[in-house]
Amino acid sequence: MRVLVHSAWGEGRAVEQLVRSAALDRFRVHSLTTDPLEADVILFAETVHFEDPTWRTVRTHPYLARYREKCFLYNEADHPWCVLPGLYCSMPRRAFQPARQKAFGYLYTMNEQVRGPSPAIERRWLYSFIGSANHESRRRILRLRDARALLEDTSTFNIWLPVEPGERERRERRYAEVMQASLFALCPRGAGTSSYRLYEAMKLGIAPVVVGDEWVAPEGPAWHTFLLRVAEAEVARLPELLRGREAEALERGKRARRAWEEHFAPEVQFHRAAEACGELLKLRRVPESVARYRPSVERARTTVHRWLHEGKMYLRARLRASRPGR
């Protein structure tokens, strides 16, 4: 199958990673093309664009007008709706459409210090979590008191905002070192149903523990052999549950690493993405030109979220303008 990997914005880490992955591809079943007419699949590989929450830049792209039936989207947004059929990192279970969507892993990590297993590091923590308290499940985790766990709230640090290079590197290194020193890595949902740290834990060979009721697991890995899933309401039982599985942790971590190599490593990402799009084409029973008009609760939720955000920004601006001396 010939795949045109493209970004409606012209560039971005997602499209760059897929093109890089195609060059490393160990399967050599599918190939890249730059000709939209020749392509069997046109895959828009996009990062998050907060300035365009309705995805107008994609929806009005000329390729959709001419080739809609073979257009797909890689979407890593925390609050997604089905803009196009395709690969969704955080589409919640309540809105998941198996005939139009494939659950998918993130194409890259935000932490360059997450590189690979380090057997020499002592596993001093039974489990750990370093992250922001941006969801109730995370806040519950951060309230746990357990001498065998390292739990750290980083809500004051935002990876999406500019920061001193030295400070960012220090935080990234600590994050990776703490995860490597843990038997289990907690991977609770955050703003979205998925989390980068799930795939980072797998890459590092650490047994992951997903805390999130709405997360949909990507197809392929034998998740039950290495992943533990804990309901959001069961967070208080984490110390007890993980102590009961402690003897399994190292083997689960090894299996997690093998699953990452087979399904999420750079050498396989392009192949997995092309295969997923091909499967969606085979599953299609209704033309996308018709299916796209299906009502979307998630789109309505996203629109309301945008209105609330814009309203908050407006009120903040008015408050700043009303302060003395302004």
Tell me the H-state helices in the chain: 13-24, 56-59, 62-67, 136-142, 165-180, 196-204, 238-244, 249-263, 266-283, 288-291, 297-322
pLDDT for the residue 299 = 66
**Which residues form the domain of 140?**
125-263
The answer to whether residue 22 is domain-embedded is: yes
Would you say residue 160 has pLDDT above 70? Answer: no
Q: What is the maximum alpha-carbon separation in the chain?
A: 66
Length of the chain measured in residues: 326
Instruction: Please state, for a pLDDT cut of 70, what percent of the chain lies above it.
Output: 90
Q: Are residues 152 and 189 in the same domain?
A: yes
The answer to whether residue 32 is domain-embedded is: yes
pLDDT for the residue 93 = 96
Average pLDDT, the chain: 92
pLDDT for the residue 292 = 83
Tell me the two tokens of residue 167: 């400070």
pLDDT for the residue 148 = 98
Half-sphere exposure of 267 (CA within 13 A, CB side): 6
Q: Are residues 183 and 243 in the same domain?
A: yes
Quote the CA–CA distance of 212 and 129 in Å, as a whole number: 14
The answer to whether residue 116 is domain-embedded is: no
pTM of this structure: 0.89
- Per residue in 176-234, pLDDT (tens digit) is 999 999 999 999 999 999 999 999 999 999 999 999 999 999 999 999 999 999 999 99
Q: Are residues 54 and 92 in the same domain?
A: yes
The answer to whether residue 119 is domain-embedded is: no
- Average confidence (pLDDT) over 137-165: 89
The answer to whether residue 24 is domain-embedded is: yes
- Average confidence (pLDDT) over 78-90: 95
Order of strands across the sheet with 182-188?
A: 149-153, 125-131, 182-188, 207-211, 228-230
Quote the CA–CA distance of 265 and 203 in Å, as a whole number: 8
Decide: 209 and 242 in contact? Cβ < 8 Å: yes
| CATH assignment at residue 34 | 3.40.50
Q: Are residues 282 and 170 in the same domain?
A: no
Per-residue confidence at 326, pLDDT binned at 50, 70, 90?
A: very low
pLDDT for the residue 73 = 98
Beta bridge partners of 149: 127
Quote the CA–CA distance of 175 and 201 in Å, as a whole number: 11
- Per residue in 236-272, pLDDT (tens digit) is 999 999 999 999 999 999 999 999 999 999 999 999 9
